[in-house]
Structure 1
Amino acid sequence: MIKDKYSQYIRTIELKRKEIDDFECYPYNLNAVKYLNEISMHPNVTFFVGENGSGKSTLLEAIAVSFGFNPEGGTKNFNFSTYESHSDLYRYLKIIKGLKHPKDGFFLRAESFYNVASNIEQLDSEGIGARVIDSYGGVSLHKQSHGESFMSVFLNRLNGKGIYIFDEPEAALSPNRQLAFLSRMHHLVEEDAQFIIATHSPIIMSYPNSKIINLDDKMKEIKYEKTEHYLITRDFLNNTEKMLHLLME
């Protein structure tokens, strides 16, 4: 399913470059920022890929915060703060939205998902209104493995017709669960969802009808088969003994 650009929730991300004083200091010295002018987002799925330190998570966080999400993750209704470590990059982003407004949304970041799960427990312990955990499958996220709790979010909390911003969702997922995530993502796209994902996973970034932005090459779009993730994985699996021998010399 390919939506037109006006029906998607986020059309374009622009950096207000003239308002930034110094591109030599963090986070403006990161590839994800210093080469950013304008990114046209795919109506279905946009992937950010790049080496560690390229600024994927920093850019994704800024997009999420600029759109109204809590910096540590969750829905727009989450307003807790465990430790304010997010940068002020979000102040310099301009988000061009489509004509439709999302009815759902979630910002998932692997490094602070524990804090989201803890906040759900705290809210439910107060006994005010319906249990929040029921929207996540009814089982405490702390009483599941990391991967199971991620899948509980994907399968139960995401309802479609929403914007979903994910930072390395593969962090807790086995290859089999990554395939399950791909399937779930496709069903949500068919339900009018839009995803923005930072990932290292060649499985997840294989999703068709998407756009892959390479942060290591001045924010250029790249084909899946040209990504370092695909090439290294392919070469390693096809030449495992040779690759291991070279690595261990």
Structure 2
Amino acid sequence: MDRPGVRRVRADRGVDPPPDDEWPMTVPAVAQLWAHGLELAPGATVLVGENGSGKSTLVELLAQALGLNAEGGSVGARLRTVRTEPDPLPLVVERAPGAPRWGYLLRDETLHGLYAYLGDGYDRLSHGEGFLSIFDDKLRGPGIYLLDEPDAALSFAGQLRLVAGLLHLVEQGAQVVVATHSPLVAALPGARILEVGPWGLRPAQWDELELTANWRQFLDRPEGYLRHLR
């Protein structure tokens, strides 16, 4: 698809590089972003990987580069809770001519703070209901939307609804970047999958992911996993 959007995020070579022995540069995915840049798909990009692999750190750095509030929300959001995101890196965002500037970040670990900040009754809903309500209200039309582990808030049915919403956004011309532990969300049709780990970032196919294989094996024979926990 050839349409306006964010084409690439790369290091600003006009400034001194950050120390490579300090976090977040010690995260292989971040080091790869700095060294080689990150091409973003015109539709959906899905990041998968173990806890601590750097998925969330990467999403937070992308949000900062795009000018979004790193704790959640849009450019104008003033949400501040307990800061966990890294200091911004000097990154350059390469956009296609006419690319929309609207964007939004949803981070699972700061969602309750976002509910309270926005008001409008979000904080009176359950975690999953609040997430889906904000998704429907704020993520609309062309723009770029970042979601960090949205599956943590959602049931199976809620994840199906999320995938339907992401597909609708892509059909409207939006870009989405999703970090997830869910094989259901990772199966988002048409998405480019990047597996995050000690190697940095590498393209992957859904049916070849360790995530997919582990869940398939567990659901086929849960006792084969559970007996090792006793």
TM-score (normalizing by structure 2): 0.91
Distance in 1 of aligned mates of 2:18 and 2:84: 21
Distance in 1 of aligned mates of 2:204 and 2:105: 25
1:92 to 87, 90, 93: 90
Distance in 2 of aligned mates of 1:64 and 1:94: 12
Which residue does 2:6 correspond to in 1?
A: 10
List structure 1 segments (4+ residues) > 6 angstroms apart after TM superposition. none
For 2:182, the aligned partner's letter is S
Which residue does 1:188 correspond to in 2?
A: 169
- Structure 1 residue 170, shift from structure 2 partner: 0.7
Is 1:66 the counterpart of 2:65 in the alignment?
Answer: yes
Which residue does 2:157 correspond to in 1?
A: 176
Distance in 2 of aligned mates of 1:112 and 1:21: 27
Q: Kindly indicate whether the alpha-carbon contact (under 8 Å) linking 2:72 and 2:79 is maintained by their aligned counterparts in 1.
A: no
User: Secondary structure of 2:106's partner?
Assistant: strand
- Structure 1 residue 193, shift from structure 2 partner: 1.1
Give the alignment of 1:181-220 within 5 angstroms: 181-216=162-197, 217-220=199-202
Q: Kindly indicate whether the alpha-carbon contact (under 8 Å) linking 1:106 and 1:158 is maintained by their aligned counterparts in 2.
A: yes
Q: CA RMSD in A?
A: 1.8
For 1:173, the aligned partner's letter is L
User: Secondary structure of 1:51's partner?
Assistant: coil
Identity of aligned residues (%): 33
- Structure 1 residue 35, shift from structure 2 partner: 2.8
Structure 1: gaps of 5 or more residues: 122-132, 134-139
2:106 to 105, 108, 116: 108
Residues 67, 236 of structure 1: alpha-carbon distance in 2 compared, 3 angstrom cutoff = same
Which residue does 1:222 correspond to in 2?
A: 204
Q: Kindly indicate whether the alpha-carbon contact (under 8 Å) linking 1:74 and 1:106 is maintained by their aligned counterparts in 2.
A: yes
- Structure 1 residue 244, shift from structure 2 partner: 2.3
Q: Kindly indicate whether the alpha-carbon contact (under 8 Å) linking 1:104 and 1:159 is maintained by their aligned counterparts in 2.
A: no
For 1:104, the aligned partner's letter is W
Residues 198, 8 of structure 1: alpha-carbon distance in 2 compared, 3 angstrom cutoff = farther
CA displacement 1:19-49 (0-9 Å, x = unmatched)? 3242222111012212332221111111112
User: Secondary structure of 2:225's partner?
Assistant: helix
Is 1:77 the counterpart of 2:76 in the alignment?
Answer: yes
Distance in 2 of aligned mates of 1:103 and 1:20: 27
Q: Kindly indicate whether the alpha-carbon contact (under 8 Å) linking 1:8 and 1:194 is maintained by their aligned counterparts in 2.
A: no
Distance in 2 of aligned mates of 1:226 and 1:99: 36
For 2:202, the aligned partner's letter is K
Q: Which has the larger radius of gyration?
A: 1
